Amino acid sequence: MNRVVMIKYGELTTKKGNRKFFVNTLYSNIKNKLKGLNVRIHKDISRMYIEFSDSELDEVLSRINNIFGIHEYVVAYKVDTDLEGIKSNVLDIMKNIKFSTFKVETKRSDKSFPVPSLDFSRQLGGLILKNIEGVKVDVHNPEILLNVEIREFFTYIYTNEYKGLGGYPNGTLGNGILMLSGGIDSPVAGYLTLKRGVKLDCIYFEAIPHTSIEARNKVITLAKKLAKYTSEIKLHVVPFTEIQEAIYREAEDDYCITIMRRMMYRITEEVAKRNKCMVIANGESIGQVASQTLTSMSVINEVTNMPVIRPVACLDKLEIIDIAKRIDTYETSILPFEDCCTVFVPKHPVINPKLNLCYEYENRFDYKNMIIDAVNNINTIIIKDEKDNSFEDIL
Ligand code: ATP
Ligand code: MG
List, for residues 179-207, the tens digit of each pLDDT value.
Answer: 999 999 999 999 999 999 999 999 999 99
pLDDT digits (tens, 9 = 90+) for 316-373: 999 999 999 999 999 999 998 777 666 677 778 999 999 999 999 999 999 999 999 9
pLDDT digits (tens, 9 = 90+) for 87-138: 999 999 999 999 999 999 999 987 889 999 999 999 999 999 999 999 999 9
CA-nearest residue for atom 14, ligand 1, is 284
Question: Edge to edge, what strands does the sheet with 308-309 contain?
Answer: 308-309, 279-281, 175-179, 199-206, 233-239, 379-383, 393-394
Q: Give the span between the Cα atoms of 56 and 72, in whole angstroms.
A: 20
Contact between residue 30 and residue 95 where contact means Cβ atoms under 8 Å apart: no
The minimum-distance atom of ligand 1 relative to the CA of 211 is 27
Strand, helix or coil at 149? strand
pLDDT digits (tens, 9 = 90+) for 151-179: 999 999 999 999 999 999 999 999 999 99
Average of pLDDT values for 139-143?
A: 96
- Look at residue 382 in the predicted model and tell me its pLDDT: 97
- Look at residue 15 in the predicted model and tell me its pLDDT: 58
The minimum-distance atom of ligand 1 relative to the CA of 285 is 6
Beta strands in the chain (DSSP E): 2-8, 39-43, 47-52, 70-80, 101-108, 136-137, 144-150, 154-158, 161-166, 175-179, 199-206, 233-239, 279-281, 308-309, 379-383, 393-394
- Look at residue 343 in the predicted model and tell me its pLDDT: 64
Q: Give the span between the Cα atoms of 387 and 33, in whole angstroms.
A: 8
The minimum-distance atom of ligand 1 relative to the CA of 178 is 20
Average of pLDDT values for 213-220?
A: 95
CA-nearest residue for atom 27, ligand 1, is 205
For helices 241-250 and 256-274, the axis angle rounded to 10 degrees is: 150
- Look at residue 342 in the predicted model and tell me its pLDDT: 65
- In this structure, the strands spanning 136-137 and 39-43 are unpaired
DSSP state, residue 70: E
185 alpha carbon, closest ligand: 1
pLDDT digits (tens, 9 = 90+) for 112-121: 899 999 999 9
Buried b (16+ CB within 10 A) or exposed e, 243-256: bbebbbebbeebbb
Q: Is the pLDDT assigned to residue 219 strictly greater than 50?
A: yes
- Look at residue 393 in the predicted model and tell me its pLDDT: 47
C-alpha closest to that of 309 among 276, 285, 281: 281
Q: Give the span between the Cα atoms of 103 and 145, in whole angstroms.
A: 5
Q: Give the span between the Cα atoms of 212 and 94, in whole angstroms.
A: 60
CA-nearest residue for atom 30, ligand 1, is 179
Q: How many CB atoms lie within 10 A of CB 88?
A: 12
Least confident of 145-149, 278-282, 285-289: 285-289
Angle in degrees, CA 280, 284, 286, rounded to 5: 130
CA-nearest residue for atom 25, ligand 1, is 181
Query: Is the CB of residue 315 below 6 angstroms from any atom belonging to ligand 1?
Result: no
pLDDT digits (tens, 9 = 90+) for 39-58: 999 998 889 999 999 999 99
DSSP state, residue 388: -
- Look at residue 340 in the predicted model and tell me its pLDDT: 63
- CB atoms within 5 A of ion ligand 2 belong to 181, 183, 339
Q: Is the pLDDT assigned to residue 391 strictly greater than 60?
A: no
- Look at residue 338 in the predicted model and tell me its pLDDT: 72
Average of pLDDT values for 239-243?
A: 97
Q: How many CB atoms lie within 10 A of CB 175?
A: 15
Q: Which residues contact 4 (CB under 8 A, 6 or more apart)?
A: 49, 50, 51, 52, 75, 76, 78, 156
Q: Which residues contact 216 (CB under 8 A, 6 or more apart)?
A: 204, 206, 237
pLDDT band at residue 13 under the 50/70/90 scheme:
low
Q: Which residues contact 26 (CB under 8 A, 6 or more apart)?
A: 9, 12, 48, 67, 69, 70, 169
Contact between residue 304 and residue 171 where contact means Cβ atoms under 8 Å apart: no
Percent of the chain predicted with pLDDT > 90: 86
Strand, helix or coil at 328? coil
Q: Give the span between the Cα atoms of 269 and 273, in whole angstroms.
A: 6
- Look at residue 341 in the predicted model and tell me its pLDDT: 60
pLDDT digits (tens, 9 = 90+) for 229-240: 998 999 999 999
Q: Which residues contact 64 (CB under 8 A, 6 or more apart)?
A: 5, 7, 30, 33, 50, 70, 73, 164
Q: How many CB atoms lie within 10 A of CB 308?
A: 20
Percent of the chain predicted with pLDDT > 70: 94
- Look at residue 348 in the predicted model and tell me its pLDDT: 86
CA-nearest residue for atom 7, ligand 1, is 183
- In angstroms, what CA-CA distances link 161 with 42, 157, 164, 274, 341? 20, 11, 10, 43, 45
- Look at residue 392 in the predicted model and tell me its pLDDT: 47
Q: Give the span between the Cα atoms of 271 and 161, in whole angstroms.
A: 43
